[in-house]
Amino acid sequence: MSTVLVVGGTGTAGAAVVAELHARGQRVRVLSRHAPAPAVAGIEHAPGDLLTGEGLAAALDGVEVLVSAVNGQTRKTRPVFTEGARNLTRAAEAAGVRRAVLLSIVGVDQVRFSYYDAIAEQERIYAASGLDTTIVRSTQFHTLLRSIFATTARIGVLPAVRGARFQPIAPADLARALADAALAESPGSRIEVGGPEVATMRELAETWKRVTGSRALVLGLPVPGPPGRFLRAGLNLTPENRCGTVTFEQWSIENRS
């Protein structure tokens, strides 16, 4: 049985892929700065720091497949996508890792802003490494939309960006795609995955409002500049690659507590 190392295994996507691989009977090791809580029998934890390189050699010992689901949403943590990727790919090559699976975002190279720029650079770092890399580009998670709506509902509004459509995917559905890529013999160099339906942001806001019983007002908002053009053009979508099965409404009902 091979060992799969999941980097960022305590985050939304990472924790889901850890659970999926474990359910498939794989030996799973999680690399993170802090041990996951609660601990799960059969899942190892390897402490390590992508930016300093501390602990990477030990974490990669005996690993055949690496899955990276790291996230750096703030300016302070964003270097995990760049310097962290350089340190990790170098250490993985030195350890003899056979394959890498990298989580990315659909359309990440189609619009310029700092978060997407860093993720696009991470893709280039992996592609230029000596690892047999599969990049899995995903649409946004259901959790992102819930976070937006739950936050703005506190001030009585639900934003509905005009012209914006989304194809949100459940973390568990994405985890199956990541696990498939990690365990397949020839998964390919890049895969795109999306949720089962495409809907306007207004439709999604109305769904969340109905499911949660919120009284917030759904408010249409313009988004100017490149991000607005990106969303209106549907470059965040991959309708031909619907792999998810759980709709936003289904997921919201199951996770409304």
Mean pLDDT across the stretch 54-70? 96
Give the model confidence (pLDDT) of 209-228 as tens digits. 999 999 999 999 999 999 99
What's the first-to-final CA gap in the chain, in angstroms? Answer: 38
Domain carrying residue 49: 3-254
Residue type at 62 in one-letter notation: G
181 neighbors 123 (Cβ within 8 angstroms): no
Q: Is the pLDDT of residue 37 over 80?
A: no
pTM (2 d.p.) = 0.94
Give percent helix, percent strand, percent coil of the chain, each to the nearest 5: 40, 25, 35
| 231-257 average pLDDT score | 94
| Band of pLDDT at residue 41, cut at 50, 70 and 90 | confident
| Torsion of Cα atoms, 190 then 127 then 172 then 10, to 10° | 180
User: What CA–CA distance (Å, rounded) separates 250 from 257?
Assistant: 13
Question: Two tokens at 213?
Answer: 């019983």
pLDDT of residue 115: 94
Q: Could you tell me the CATH number of the domain that includes residue 54?
A: 3.40.50.720
What's the rounded Cα separation, in Å, for the pair 164 and 144? 15
Q: What pLDDT, on a 0 to 100 scale, did the predictor assign at position 71?
A: 93
Q: Give the number of domains in the chain.
A: 1
Read off the pLDDT of each residue in 101-108 and give the average, rounded to a whole number: 98
pLDDT digits (tens, 9 = 90+) for 157-195: 999 999 999 999 999 999 999 999 999 987 779 999 999
Structure tokens at 256: 């409304």
- β-bridge partners, 6: 30, 67
